[in-house]
Every structure is written in C-alpha cells, then in structure tokens.
Amino acid sequence: MPAAASKDTVEVAASLVGVTKVFGGTVAVSDVSIELRAGEVLALLGENGAGKSTCVKVLAGVHRPDMGSIVIGGQQRRFSSPLEAQHAGVAVMHQHPGLFPDLSIAENLFIGQTGASWKLDHGSMQAEAARLLKTVGLDADVSQPLGKLRTSEQQLVEVARALSLDARVLIMDEPTAALSQREVERLFAVVGSLRQRGVAMMFVGHRMDEIYRVSDRIAVLRDGRLVGTELTADLSRERAIQMMVGRALDGLYPRHTSAPGSVVLKVDGLSRSSTFDDISFELKAGEILGFGGLVGSGRTEIARVLFGIDRPTAGSIAVDGRVVYFSSASEAMEQGIAYVSEDRIGQSLVMDFSILNNASLTVLDKATRGGMMSRSKELRLAEPFLNRLRLRFSSYEQPVTSLSGGNQQKVVVSKWLATNPRILILDEPTQGIDVQAKADVHAMMADLASQGMAIILISSELPELLGMSDRMIVLREGHISGRFERDEATQEKVIAAATDAIVQKIDGEVVAKPVHTGIEHIELSSHQSPLKRIFARREFGLVAAMLAVIVPISILNIRMLSGSNLSALAMDAGLLMIVAVAQMLVLITRSIDLSVAAIIGLAAYGAASTLHAHPEIGVIGGLLLACAIGLVAGTVNGVIITYGRVPAIVVTLGTMSVFRGLNSIWAGGTQVSADQVPQAWLDMTSANILGVPAIILIAVATLLIAGYVLRYTSLGRELYAIGSNPEGARLIGIPARPRILLAFAAAGLLAGFDGALWASRYATVDARVAYGFELTVIAAVVVGGVAVRGGSGTVLGVAAGALLLLVINNGLTLVRVDPLWLQGVYGLVILIAIGIDAYVARRAARGGAHS
C-alpha cells in the first residue's frame, strides 16, 4: 500500500467544496467536500446510488453543481462542458468506456482534443497513439477500428486516452471492471508512475482488494453524503464496509450446508474451434461450481455453448444422464438451464423498458391472459424474486435505466429465476456492483444451492470464487489447467493455474508475477498483403456485385456497354451520388432525412421558374437560389430535431409533405420546359470538358470535398463519433446538437445543389420532380455500407452503392423486364448485392480477429 504524505506537505490539485446536486426532486449528493492531492490516490467508496458517479461527473464537467464549488489548482471553476474540464487538466476514465467502435484506435485517443482542425495529421496521431498504448501494455494496430478489440483491451485504450490529455487530475471510474489480472497489474504500474509525476487521482471501485492496494486515502459516501475520509492504512475493511452500508455486514460469502445431490449436468470432451478444447466436468444438484481464469480463457465461451447460443464442434452435453443438443437458447431453457450474461446492459436488459417488463421477459408466455399481457400475472411471476434480492426501487413501472448498476443486476438475476431453472449459470454476477448488492446476490446463491439448484459461477474476483464455490475449475487459453476442491483451493494455486506464472505477494495480496513484459500482442489486419486488404474492403463486394449484373446483361444486350448508355448512366449516377452523400451526412449521426427528394424538387422548380421569370440572375443566381432553398429546408429540419428533440424520422416525414406541398403551390400545375430557361443553364451539366460530361466532374468534385471533410477534419470525425457512441461523445465534450444541426443543414445544401443540377440535366421541371426518389437515395446509402445505426460508412462506398443501383435498374430495363416485375426483380438483386457485401465484410472481420 502506498504511503500517504501529510496534508501540510501535499498540494491540493482539485477539490469539491460543499457540492450539492439535485435531479428533479432527488438529491444525488448533498454538501460533499473532497480533496484530490498531487501524487496521491483517493479511493471513493459507496454503494451504488450513494453519489459516486455524480461526484465524478461534477468534477468532469458533465454536471454542474447546484450548490458548492469546484476548485482546480487553487482557483474556483465552473465547467459548462466536459471539454472545459479537460482543458483545465481533468481527465476521466469512465465506467463504461466513452469510446467509439467505428473510429480507429488512434482517433479514439485524440477525438475532441484537436479543436477545429481542417487538416488532421493522422500520421502523428498514430505515432503518438502507438507510444501511449505501449505505456499501458497493449500492442495493436492503431489504424484499425476500435471495435475489433476485446472489451478489456478497449478499457486499456480508455486508460491511454486519459494519459494522452497529460492531465493534472485523473479520475478512474471502475477502471478494472473488464480487465484481466495481468491488465490490472499493468494499470497499477501506470498509476504508480503517475503518482511519481505528481498527478492527483481518484479511484472509484467496488473491489476491496484493489482499493486497499492502490489508494492512499479513502472517502466513503452513503446516501449522497460524505461519511468520512481516512488514511487507507488507518481504515480496516470491516470499518469501511460499515461506513458504506451504515451497519456491520455479516456473511459476505455465506456457505450453504446441503450435501450435493445427483449429477444434473455432465460435459464430456466439449470443444469449440478456436475458443476452447476438451472440456469435461460434472455438476451436481445443490452445488456451486466455480470457473476461474483470465478474461479470454474460454469461461464465457463455454457458458454460451451450454446455453445453446453457440454450437460446439466436438464433445457432448448430458442433462440428467441424457445427451442433449441445443440449437438455440430456448431449447436450453426447456431443459431447465438459465444464463445470466456478463453484459447486463448489452445482452440482458432492455434499457427503455420498466423493471416489471424486464423481470418478466423470460416468462412472457406465462404472463398473458387471452393473448394480452396481464400485469397481475407479471407481478406474480417476477415479484417474489425481486423481493428476495431486496431490489431498491420506487415503482415497478420505473425505467430500468434509472436504477443503479447493482439494482439492474438484481433485475437480470430475477428475470432468469422466474423461469425456475435447475441449472443456473452466473457470468460475473457481481461485476460493478456495490458490497451490499454483492452480499444480496451471494445470499441468494447460497439459498438456491441449499434448495438443490446447480450453479456455475464465473468470476474474475478470486475472493468471490474461493468464498462461494464448492469446487473450482481453472481455465487457461481454452483448456482446463486446474481442478480444486473447496478446502484445497488457494489464491496462489488458482493464479498459478490461470496464468502459468510464478505468484508473488504485494502488500499482502497474491498476484501473478509476469514471465514476460506483460504486453498483450494483437496482430490485426495491418499485416495483410495489399491485395488481401483490397479484397477485404466493403467496396470490393459492391464492385463484385456490379460485375455480376453487367457481365450477363452485356451478353444479352450489347447496348449495355455502348458509349451513349454509359454516358447517360454516369450522368444519372452523378445526381444520385451527390444526394446520397447528403443522406450519408445525417445517417452517420444516427439520424435520417426522408425529405431530401422533396428538397431536390423544391430547389429544382424554384431555380428553374425563377430563371424563367428573371433570366438576368444567370446560372450563378439560379445555383445560389437552389442552394439557399436547400440550406433553409435542411436547417429547419435540424433545428426541430436537435433543439425540439423530435425524432428525425418523424420530423423529416412531416417536412417531406410540407416541402412537396409548397412546391405544388409554387408550381400551380405548370411546368418549366427547356425552351423557357437560358441555354447556359442547360449547358451547365450537358457540356463536355475534355470529353467528360460536366455533371460527372461536378459530382466527383463534390464527393472529393465531402470525403476530405469527413476523413481529414475534426468536424467530420466528430460526426462519426456522435453516431458511433452518442453518450460517449457527450462525455468527452463533443457538442452533439450543433454538429447534428450542421449535418442536416449541409445535407439540405447538397440536396438544393442537386436540385439545380437536376433541373439542368432533365430540362423539363414540374412539381413532381424527384417524386419517390428518397427511397432510392436511402437504398444507395445503405447498400453502400453506411450503417443505419450510425457511425460508419465511406463516401467511396456510397458512390459505389449509387452506381450499383443504377446499373441494376439500367440492366433490367435493357433486357426488357416487364415494368410490373421490375421493382420486384430490382429489390431481389439489391438483396443479393447486400448479401455479397455482407459476406465480404464478415470475411474481413474474421480476418482481423484471427490474424
């Protein structure tokens, strides 16, 4: 344990002074004062809901205190955003990493720190990112998407991001929750070096072993108030727990007394390619079997096979002596197996649902009356288990998002207990929950085991495994490396089996002594040959799909490759590509714009009719008018969506009709023909420059500009970040609403510009211009690889997607497919194209994961 310096000799780098924060009518923290001293680690303890996260977010600039003040470096500060806190030298490692899976590792380290830059230096960022990753013990290709890393590796990236800020104050909120023992050791080594550099640190966690090992002082919160702050050396664990819960806590690891019954689960030679091999064990009724090992050793993978989520490649599973084969989780549930996943937020809860709805998800068939959900039946099924786990809540209709992590986990466990399982698999059941919630879960496990339930416990916390397990299996690299009975299992033996390393004691705690540098080595696709990297790109699938259409149709009709057809096809593609990029701008932020085609129509008719009435404004005037119409329309969409907080699909569905209506009123049933506008207006797109139609050159220039902005400017990367992880973007201070507003304004501007080109290209314009075109635009963007969920996609992919759709349409027309069948065949070919693209993308992902 580090030695704490006296208060008189240490600089106070940051502090909360009498801070109170109220949400609605709920007081989150009241009159809390905490000091963070240079070169020290202050541990912040408390149950879930005690106010720890609120203190973290106040210091980080996410929340503003209602009373009290923040003092940094002796000066009182009032942060209006996380970005201001970062500029003041405060870095935060959040409990759920505020990272962006679709951005590169290097971009994740520096996103939000570059300011308004029009030329990001990716080379310098990648070099510095590689250095920072080496510091935290992670060897990875920093140009690869962060999403290719495991959760624990992403947590190390979060550590590196905090280091990249060169902060004077570092706040670590549950930093070890997803880390293996080796990674925890590396993190603590980094903490030690930061202590030597005089960085003031706050460590928020629930693992008492880690708290007592890393901290100099401990501050305890209870019910939003500071109970006290003491030197770690002077505060016993029993006293710390009593301060947290308000009373002595007996039986953290209660033992059940029932004797094991008959074998209910027998696993023999179970294997799954590339994850685990030759796993054999028996599980008896009334027994708790612990699975130990490092993260990635195969523990969770075995659980997923036992629950029917994944298929084994060899071996057998027998329940009550009868061999069973699970093709789905529902079949495992029919055999009385339940699985509580380690990822409660991503896999176990529907965060927008109420407590009751979540707790009854697994028994919906029993919670209905006459085919309709019955609240009384839901309560009868779920309430006993929620009460057993002592859930803290105000109403069963309360959204599960409003609960603390510990209470969320209780809802997850009760959901599976409602199925009355005979075999319960618990994967990290107490990860990230407080000591009282842990005690409740442990008491529940002991009670269930005493009633005859067979339990598999997967945990990264050795004290929990040793305290709760009747027997233990230890895994290393997908193989069983040790088996221990309760009375023979020790920390030394388990760590040695899990790591194949010599163990040592540090401040009384047993840890693994690394037999090498401790740096995890991950080889990603940067080591692939250039040819393989080309084949791995999503765009390659689109090109393959185009060839699959062009070749057979060219054989049937040689006109497919004629100069006139290709020229017309290219000009149509230019128009579609520009508006597809406009749609891409909003899609990457997790929004959608259904009004782009209506904006095209309004801008096209507005520009053409004004040129007809006032030819003196010229081509430039017509272009500017069309762009202005588009800009105003896009800005209207953006303002309602961002500041009115109305879903984008609702807003743009409404404005689509509004813009169409305005266009109809403006046109009044008339049209503008080619002989009513200046010839220069028509020449704008039909003229050839070096043999290439001008519209194609305009489209290429537009795509290049959009591609540059999205790839090389801080604004473009922030748009991707917002779509990839909206909450993460907020936590690091990216101004999401102004950025989304800007995306809609830019999309409107491009749609208006496209309307002017449309009017020039097709000459005759009326109120029905681009009618129904929005579906083609959305199809082009999605086929081009832009994820509807936001955060990913390239301009090149969108261009390829637009071209593919037009090639399909053109080809089907040339082979004279009946118009009645055209849309059906068109849709079928699109699905095939998406299938080819998805196959290539999956191969690329597997290549990155296994290389």
Q: What is the mean pLDDT of the chain?
A: 83
- Mind listing the pLDDT tens digit for each residue in 251-278? 678 877 778 889 999 999 999 988 899 9
Please name which of 573, 584, 575, 643 lies closest in space to residue 603, comparing C-alpha atoms.
575
Residue predicted with more confidence, 679 or 830: 679
Supply the pLDDT for residue 833: 56
Asked if 453 and 424 touch (Cβ cutoff 8 Å), the reply is yes
Average pLDDT over residues 301-323: 92
Q: Is 362 helix (H, G, I), strand (E, B) or coil?
A: helix
Lowest mean pLDDT among 19-33, 165-179, 580-594: 165-179
Question: Does residue 722 have a pLDDT over 80?
Answer: yes
Question: Does residue 180 have a pLDDT over 70?
Answer: no
Supply the pLDDT for residue 219: 94
Q: Kindly give, in sequence order, each residue whose CB lies less than 8 Å from that of residue 289, ignoring residues fewer than 6 positions away.
A: 281, 283, 454, 455, 456, 457, 469, 470, 471, 472, 473
Q: Kindly give, in sequence order, each residue whose CB lies less than 8 Å from that of residue 424, ignoring residues fewer than 6 positions away.
A: 338, 340, 416, 417, 448, 453, 454, 455, 456
CA distances from 589 to 144, 148, 648, 722 (A): 21, 21, 11, 6
Q: Report the half-sphere exposure of 306 (CA within 13 A, side-chain side).
A: 33
Amino acid making up residue 591: S
How many Cβ atoms from other residues are within 10 Å of residue 252's Cβ?
18
Average pLDDT over residues 482-489: 88
- Mind listing the pLDDT tens digit for each residue in 774-819? 888 988 888 888 877 778 888 998 998 888 888 888 887 888 877 6
How many whole angstroms separate alpha carbon 611 and alpha carbon 672? Answer: 10
Supply the pLDDT for residue 829: 60
- Mind listing the pLDDT tens digit for each residue in 200-223? 999 998 778 889 999 999 999 988
Residue 12 has φ and ψ, to the nearest 5°, of -85, 110
Average pLDDT over residues 470-478: 90
How many whole angstroms separate alpha carbon 307 and alpha carbon 816? Answer: 52
Average pLDDT over residues 613-636: 95
- Mind listing the pLDDT tens digit for each residue in 489-548? 887 788 778 776 544 554 545 554 443 333 333 333 444 555 555 555 666 667 777 787
Percent of the chain with pLDDT over 90: 32
Q: Report the half-sphere exposure of 205 (CA within 13 A, side-chain side).
A: 27
- Mind listing the pLDDT tens digit for each residue in 328-362? 888 998 899 999 887 766 666 777 788 888 777 77
Residue-wise over 9-18: b if at least 16 C-beta within 10 A, else e? ebebbbbbee
Asked if 335 and 376 touch (Cβ cutoff 8 Å), the reply is no
